[in-house]
Amino acid sequence: MEWSNLVESCGLNGETKLIFIGGGNMAGALIKGAINSNFITKDDIVVSVRSKESAAKWIEDGFSNTFTDNNEMLKKFPLGVVFICVKPQLFGSMVDQLEEGILHASPLVVSIMAGLSTETLSQKLIHTGYSHSMIRMMPSTPCLVGASATLLCYNSLPINNRLSLVTSLADCAGTCTILEEKQFHAASAVAACAPAYVFLLIEALADGGVLAGLPRKDALNLATQSFQGAAKLVAESRKHPGQLKDEVCSAGGSTIAGVRVLERAAVRSALIEAVKASTERSEEMSKMK
């Protein structure tokens, strides 16, 4: 279902826009992923950025509803679903600059900021007039290609059918998992941070191929396909990854020799510690004022 039809089915104005406060990498990935999935058009999008240079780039890319002033944007589009996509440390100053009651007509506000709880978000937004449920959404950059593992949680205020506005956006960019908020830090470390870990591993695997004598292009293509194939096999076979690993490792073969080196280097432990560190950092950010 396209965005315009979805908002009408939820009892909202058919002209309701998707409004993004902040036009950084994550907002851009989510927007472009939804456009690539034909869920939205560029006319459905309203975005605010901090500089005229950034605004010019968005406008050049076909997003005519681009602003550098949040209050101006929200006055012109008061009924939009608002996605807050600024850096968490900038959230407080951004909210302080919003005019009294500016969000009173918005049907929904969604945060795409790491760490900040729905309670903190609600408290900070009180003076804006917004009084509905707060949703936290955490996509990952693979939403650009429809492969994000997007996370959602929300507070206890009535959500009604408005949740479908966000889950539909998430679904068109990959998968969508709704969690209890207490699980959000750990889930974000696995789903939202992990693509960076995988990119690093793909690069390292390709470097190994180059070291062994492969051309860089071939090494990178083979490493990328290996990750894609392995992930698909885990998803579709429903076998435990350990079992699949055992099935590749023949007795005395080259694969088990490589696995031995990875185990000696504590690669599995390093990944576990990376998830733990990301989780702890997310928890720290949630305590920032």
pLDDT at 8: 81
Give Cα 106 to chain centroid, integer Å: 22
CA distance 282 to 26: 17
Homologous superfamily of domain range 3-179: NAD(P)-binding Rossmann-like Domain (3.40.50.720)
Beta-sheet strand order (sheet of 81-84): 66-67, 45-48, 18-21, 81-84, 109-111, 134-138, 148-154, 174-178
| Binding-site annotation: residue ranges | 21-26, 70
Structure tokens at 208: 């190994």
* 173: three-class secondary structure by DSSP: coil
Two tokens at 3?
Answer: 């965005």
**Mean per-residue pLDDT of the chain:** 92
Q: Binding site membership for NADPH: which residues?
A: 70
Q: Are residues 48 and 18 in contact, defined by beta-carbon separation less than 8 angstroms? A: no
Rounded to whole angstroms, the Cα distance separating 204 from 207 reads 5
Task: Record the pTM.
Answer: 0.85
Which pLDDT score, from 0 to 100, does residue 37 have?
A: 85
Banded model confidence at residue 13, pLDDT cuts 50, 70, 90: confident
Q: At what angle do helices 267-286 and 184-191 cross, to 10 degrees?
A: 130
Question: In this structure, are residues 167 and 34 in contact, taking their beta carbons and an 8 Å threshold?
Answer: no
State pLDDT tens for residues 243-263.
999 999 999 999 999 999 999
State the amino acid at position 66 in one-letter form: T
End-to-end CA distance of the chain: 39
* pLDDT value of position 229: 97
Structure confidence at residue 157 as a pLDDT band (50, 70, 90):
low
Domain locations in the chain as residue ranges: 3-179, 194-286
266 SS3 class: coil
Q: Which residues are annotated as a binding site for NADP(+)?
A: 21-26
Q: Which pLDDT does position 158 carry in this prediction?
A: 62
| Three-class DSSP category at 46 | strand
Q: Which two tokens stand for residue 278?
A: 């990301």
Distance, CA of 248 to CA of 257 (rounded, Å) = 12
Q: What are the tens digits of pLDDT across the range 98-150?
A: 999 999 999 899 999 988 889 989 999 999 999 888 999 999 889 888 899 99
Ranges assigned E (strand) in the chain: 18-21, 45-48, 66-67, 81-84, 109-111, 134-138, 148-154, 174-178
Cβ count near 33 (within 10 Å): 26
Per CATH, the number for 194-286 is 1.10.3730.10
